[in-house]
A and B are shown apart, each in its own frame.
Chain A
Amino acid sequence: MDVTAQLILNGIMLGSMYAIIAVGLTLIFGIVRVVNFAHGEFLMVGMYAVYLFNKQMGLHPYVSALPVVVLLFLLGALIQRFIIQKLLNADEHIQIFATVGLSTALINLALILFGADLYSVNAPAARQPVPLGSFNVLSGHIVIFCAALALVAGLHMFMQRTALGRAIRATAQNRYAAQLMGVKVERIYIISFGLGAACVGLAAALIMPLYPVSPTIGTYFVLTAFVVVVLGGMRSMYGAFFGALIIGIVDSLSGYYIAPDLKEVVYFAIFILILIFKPTGLFGFGRGTE
């Protein structure tokens, strides 16, 4: 029983890490309607940026969250403006190939610049076990959990209460109607892609104390993030948040009770079942509820 509870707790912590990444992916998919296969590589870029801020300027990874979020927002906005925008009316396949190509290019760029070595930052405070009753949680994981909650709450406020947020929701619901209402759709897309990338920037700063960065680190996280997005109903960030927690718990429990190498099998099986039986996602948030 104790082990099960600890596993669930670990799963929630793991899930909150996926949540931040998946919320970013959902924003891009839900609003710009582009499946961003380079999402994991944004994470990698962010982590190298955190590493460099730490090494060159001595910034703690959590402090460097601010500049890295801004940096990733700009990166995302530029990619939308100069790559995706040009392909917006092209076939969906072409957009997918563009992001896949971008992903490969970024991985190899990192290989050239940093080599295949691992780099890590020294932030022991983020790796302290914190006793929680009879269980242990990492301090860094608690920070990630709180950040994930704050991110979803913040985005909720932004989407509901600001004019820009309303324009974004309108664009997501119907690109052409929004345009008719005077929304500058292309600008909204640039901002949304930027926001999606910025979420990854936040994730990068929070993950960096826990995981060393290497050129392929993005691929470790992003496949799971895709499952989470589907589970959450593709376009809903609330769905993505809860979906991430569920996947985290499934990951943790199946790794213990079934086998560590079969946990991917378990959640990809879930992924396929959802696609077949409930393509609008587990919570029925589905289309147009953002």
Chain B
Amino acid sequence: MKKFLGAAVAAGLAFAAQSAQAQVKVGALYPFSGGLALLGDESFRGLELAVEERNAAGGLKGQKIEIVKGDAVDPNQAVGEARRLTSVDKVPVIFGSYASSISLAATQVAELAGIPYFEMGAISDPITERGYKYVFRSNPTAKDFANKMVDSVLDILGPALGADGKSLKVAIIHEDSLYGQTVAGFQTARAKEKGVNVVDTLPYSAKSVDLTPLILRLKSAGVDVVLQTSYQNDTVLFFRQMKEQGLKLKAIVGAGGGYSLADTMKAIGAENMEGALDVDFTQYKTNPAGAPGINEFVAKYKAKYGTEPRSGHSLANYMGANVFFDVMTKSKNLTGDAIREEIAKVDIPQGKTPTGWGVKFNAKGQNERASPYFMQWQKGELVTVHPPEAAVAKMKVGVGSN
């Protein structure tokens, strides 16, 4: 029976919608176990809330949406689970995936099967740059993060510090796995293009237990601004040792990752994290005028899960899921080509979604109006300080208690 319905849905038989039993399955591919599970699950909650909301409002063209989960711990398992979803469960579309490595692997399977893959969280640029027809991404990419960080030196930090942005001595530091290398590569290119004065670029291992050599190097180079791309442990270590070694910076900007997590702030201490800037997906201390629906999302989240959202990932997935469900509703059927046709028509200006992002997909399937926000740690809270329409607090200068 289920198989028949799946086939029926895929064929887009609208009359099935009349039946109370009718349902449309959607695949949800995230890391639900293993080391990435925490934020994988957090991402999934955004999708889950969007689905519940749709079902409460009558479902998708009258059909109940049913989520079929796929647990992708690593790229290998991502391939296996994507195969299961496409060939055994026969889902017409897949949502995912939080981690770039998982998305890169799973999208290959979906593309071959001709099934639309909706990416709502992974930031690696190549996901939408391999010429795939049915991979669509609602969130900003690593390049957007890097550009925003470099541009902030000229547009935001310079004016705030009362100095010419180009005169500030900037250092790029990053953990040396694919994530850090990618963002730092884009940063270096952007800095050259914009004339930002990068005095040093220092990669380090995220498993480092001592960053004092790096910190002493920043100190002897007289660096004003640090742009850091990091995970959690290394962020904690850097901030602790920065204080211990007496490094005084005018500003530090993180690329999401370890910077956005409340646990990082707790481990470092609110007073030491004070003033640290962070470029990331939209977080919750954001002005609803620039992100309509954000407070309603938080209320729904708390009602269902009993806690505050653990990170902005759920919001980004919620926003993305709604965009894609709208597309699925308007599309004449759920085949890859019909979805692709409908995706091209989406046109939402900035500031009209719960993340504040606009939506306009390019030919590669990438949303070109998504851009990360500029946040700052103030008194133990991560508050949005830029752009002005989404800001809830004024930006301060200086870092920590040094």
A interface list, Cβ under 8 A from B: 3, 6-7, 10, 14, 17, 111, 115-118, 120, 127, 129, 136, 138, 210-212, 214-217, 219-221, 224, 251-256, 259-261, 263-264
In the complex, are the beta carbons of A118 and B213 less than 8 A apart?
A: no
- Is the CB–CB distance between A138 and B244 below 8 Å? yes
Asked if A256 and B264 sit within 8 Å, CB to CB, the answer is no
Cβ contact within 8 Å between B216 and A264: no
Q: Of the candidates B35, B216, B236, which one forms a contact with A212 in the assembled complex, judged by CB atoms under 8 Å apart?
A: B236
Q: Are B203 and A219 in contact (CB under 8 A)?
A: no
Total A-B contacts with CB atoms under 8 angstroms apart:
95
Identify the interface centre among A118, A129, A136, A263: most chain B CB within 10 Å of its CB: A118
Q: Digit string of B208-230 for contact with A (CB within 8 Å is 1, else 0)?
A: 11111110110010000000000
A211 surroundings in chain B (CB, below 8 A): 209, 233, 237
**Residue on B nearest A215 in the bound complex, by CB:** B35
**Chain A residues with CB below 8 A from B240, complex form:** 127, 210
Q: A14 to B34, Cβ gap below 8 A? A: no
A89–B37 Cα distance when bound, in Å, is: 40
How far is the CB of A254 from the nearest CB of chain B, in Å? 8
**B236–A118 contact, CB under 8 A?**
yes
Minimum Cβ distance to chain B for residue A41 (Å): 15
Shortest distance from the beta carbon of B227 to any chain A beta carbon, whole Å: 15
Binding site for A on B (CB under 8 A): 34-38, 176, 202-205, 207-214, 216-217, 220, 232-233, 236-237, 240, 244-246, 263-264, 266-267
Q: A252-B213, A261-B203 are in contact. Are A111 and B35 (CB under 8 A)?
A: yes
Are A220 and B209 in touch, CB under 8 angstroms? yes
On chain B, the residues within 8 Å of A219 by CB distance are 207
Tell me if B216 and A116 are in contact (CB < 8 A): no
> Which residue in B36, B176, B210 is a CB contact (below 8 Å) of A255?
B210
Q: How far does the alpha carbon of A214 sit from the alpha carbon of B233 in the complex, in Å?
A: 8
CB of B37 within 8 A of CB of A3, answer no
Instruction: Give the residue name and chain of the B residue nearest to A219 (CB).
Output: B207
**Does the CB pair A118–B212 fall under 8 Å?**
no
Given contacts A129-B244, A212-B236, A260-B202, contact A117 B212 (CB under 8 A): no
Contact indicator A117/B244 (Cβ below 8 Å): no
Task: Please classify the interface of chain A as helix (H, G, I), strand (E, B), loop, or mixed, using the class held by over half of its residues.
Answer: helix
What is the chain B residue whose CB lies nearest that of A128?
A: B244
Q: How far is the CB of B319 from chain A (nearest CB, A)?
A: 25
Q: Is the CB of B267 within 8 A of A260?
A: no
> In the docked arrangement, what's the CA distance between A117 and B210, Å?
20
Find chain B residues with CB under 8 A from A261 CB.
Answer: 176, 202-205
Contact A220 B220 (CB under 8 A): no
Known: A214-B233, A260-B204. A117 touches B38 (CB 8 A): yes
Q: Which listed residue (B208, B232, B266) contacts A260, Cβ 8 A?
A: B208
CA distance A190 to B338 in the complex (A): 68
Residue numbers in B under 8 Å from A120 (CB-CB): 236, 266-267
The minimal Cβ–Cβ distance linking B183 to chain A, given in whole angstroms, is 15
- Chain B residues contacting A17 (CB-CB under 8 Å) are 209
Asked if A10 and B233 sit within 8 Å, CB to CB, the answer is no
Q: Is the CB of A118 within 8 A of B263?
A: yes
Using Cβ atoms and an 8 Å threshold, which residues of chain A touch B202? 259-261
Q: Is the CB of B37 within 8 A of A115?
A: yes
With A10-B210, A211-B237, A260-B211 given, is the CB distance from A216 to B35 under 8 Å?
yes
Whether A264 touches B205, Cβ cut-off 8 Å, given contacts A116-B35, A118-B267, is yes
Set of chain A residues within 8 Å of B237, measured between Cβ atoms = 211
Is A256 a contact of B204 with CB atoms below 8 Å?
A: no
